[in-house]
Amino acid sequence: MTQPNARPPVCDYEGSNYRTDFWEGQGRDYEDRVERIALRKLLPPTGRRLLELGAGFGRLTGEYRGYEQVVLLDYSRTQLKQAQEHLGRDDRFIFVAADVYHMPFKAGAFDATTMVRVLHHIANPETALREIRRILAPGSTFILEHASKRHLKSMVRYWLRRQSWSPFDLSPVEFVELNFDFHPDHIRRALNEAGFDIRRRIPVSLLRMPVLKRRVPVSVLAGIDALFQESGLLLTPSVFVGATAQGGTVDNTRVEDLFACPRCGGKMIVDDSQQLVCDRDGLRWQVRDGIYDFKAPLNDD
């Protein structure tokens, strides 16, 4: 497990109105619909325990109806509270505040994981992907979406000398602080090195242009996008990757064995005050308003 002081910077949406400022009523029905189409193509419809990384307000959580338990992880407690409001009371959902570099879960705890619109905020994807592989059982499914630097618009802008960075270079480009576009081959290599086998890659959001979204019905745009997704031509600003954790078959880890200390990997015990305590280093973590809060221990010196 990577040491906490080695953690790269984390993008924090604490206090953000991401749901209403970016999604609802903001003309992104097309993006929402085509992302759901791609997700359904890649994710097994049923399973035991799924982890949604960067779940936000739970926009896509409804797609996981076939899973017995769904863990929503986000670094922002604000977003998790909005997810609670959005999803209502359902014992299938567990809400966890933590970062992707040091997740509070035992190895092999999940048989499926999704991460959509998150990697573009990850400064060190290699470290994050290794941690994701750790918490997935062998043979499990990982669905990753990443922003691509090699799309048609960036190519045209580069050829017209209207942008300095090359869409064909494998290095990530940070166009705004903690906002990255990645070359698809860079992500493919990082996934392989982290211990994943790629099954399929899907190009998404081919028609992400304001003029088209204003004049063409969403259903038409989404239908065209769904057809282009089958081409496999990675020329779009968003790419979905369906991968499998290398190894044997899924290990049915018991539900009660979900949590582990994100600092040392020790066993977590619930004390009389309903806080989580690590039996190895004694660090205490808060459970507040139905959210398991692993952002910082209560007794860290």
pLDDT at position 6 is 59
Q: Is the pLDDT of residue 3 over 50?
A: no
Q: Is the pLDDT of residue 101 over 50?
A: yes
pLDDT tens figures, 43-93:
999 999 999 999 999 999 999 999 999 999 999 999 999 999 999 888 999
pTM: 0.94
Residue 297 makes CB contacts below 8 A (sequence gap 6+) with 263, 283, 284, 285
Check: CB of residue 35 under 8 Å from CB of residue 238.
yes
Whole-angstrom distance, CA of residue 38 vs CA of residue 242? 10
Residue 27 has pLDDT above 60, yes or no: yes
Exposed (0-12), middle (13-18) or buried (19+): which is 69, by Cβ within 10 Å? middle
pLDDT score, position 2: 38
Q: What are the structural domains, with CATH classification, of the chain?
A: 4-257 (3.40.50.150)
Q: Whole-number mean pLDDT of the chain?
A: 93
